[in-house]
Amino acid sequence: MRWEFKRKKRIGFKRYEIPKKEPLYKNPLFPKEKKRMVTTFRKFFYSFLFLVFLVTTIYFLFFSIIFEVKEVKIEGNRFISSKNIENIIKETLGAKRFLIFKQNNILFFSKKKAHQDLVNKIQEKQALVDAKITKIYPDTLKISINERIPRLVLLSSGKRYFIDLDGVITRDIAPNEEIGIEFSKISYTTDKVLSIGDTVINPEFIKKALEIKDKLSQRTDKINMDSFQNVEDDEHQIWVNTQDGWQIFFDITSDIETQIDKLILVLEKKEIDRNRLNYIDVRFPERVYISPPLE
């Protein structure tokens, strides 16, 4: 009996090592050492170019006059002098940032620090709504000022202040400073020390006071207004002080037009002696109180 063995077929490919062939011809004029020298020279050359580029970039960005601030544009200021604003900005430009770089370079100019210094120093003399600083590359700063506009004069404790329609003190008024007749006056009694930026009068009080002024000037010429008076602890009342020494009492929670109608009816009475008059109170819906009473 004959035994037969079958050889198993291998699946896949045989691994063959490809022998590294030596070049058939070697040129004695170009040895391997020369090739290494060329590679080293290239690395040195590229490193040198990168260093030159880096130094040039640093000089261009940090020390070149191209980014040096040359102009400061100021807009929106009416009562604050441009020179004053510019001087405050120049102080920041002359300071250093990170102990090395001067802030006259627009890249290192700190808008946050400049804004803080600008607002704090201006509001020592004039109240602001806000100030905005914008960088205009490569060498310009734009300063946008939003001032509080004085609309009335506040009289308190022998001093005078300008206030805006929000009742905020915008600035002090010098003792010898003349005030235009377009500014209505409000007498305000308080024990507090008033400062620029303080809110002292309710905006609704101011709105109603100006409404009274406009309507009285349109309806009658028999009243010479001097000032409004803020009643302490009662912001719903407005007292009008006249140049003749007598007063008118209004309630700002009631219709102003109706109260003026009643006031004019009283003033048209022949029995009214303005030289003896103390006040006319039109705050109540059904009655008008007069002092001294009519006989």
Low-confidence stretches of the chain (pLDDT < 70) are 1-38, 41, 57-63, 98-99, 270, 295
CA distance 153 to 169: 9
Q: Which two tokens stand for residue 186?
A: 């409000």
pLDDT at 54: 74
CA-wise closest residue to 205 among 256, 281, 150: 256
CA-wise closest residue to 249 among 284, 280, 206: 280
Q: Which two tokens stand for residue 177?
A: 């400073």
pLDDT at 60: 64
For the chain, domain boundaries = 66-147, 152-291
pLDDT at 281: 97
Q: Do the bridges between strand 101-102 and strand 96-97 make them parallel or antiparallel, or are there none, so unpaired?
A: antiparallel
CA distance 187 to 172: 15
pLDDT at 191: 87
* Superfamily designation of domain 66-147: membrane protein fhac (3.10.20.310)
Quick: pLDDT tens for 129-139.
999 999 999 99
b/e burial code for range 190-209 (CB count within 10 A of at least 16 → b): eeeebebebebbeeebbebb
* Superfamily designation of domain 152-291: Cell division protein FtsQ/DivIB (3.40.50.11690)
Quick: pLDDT tens for 143-171.
999 999 999 999 999 999 999 999 999 99
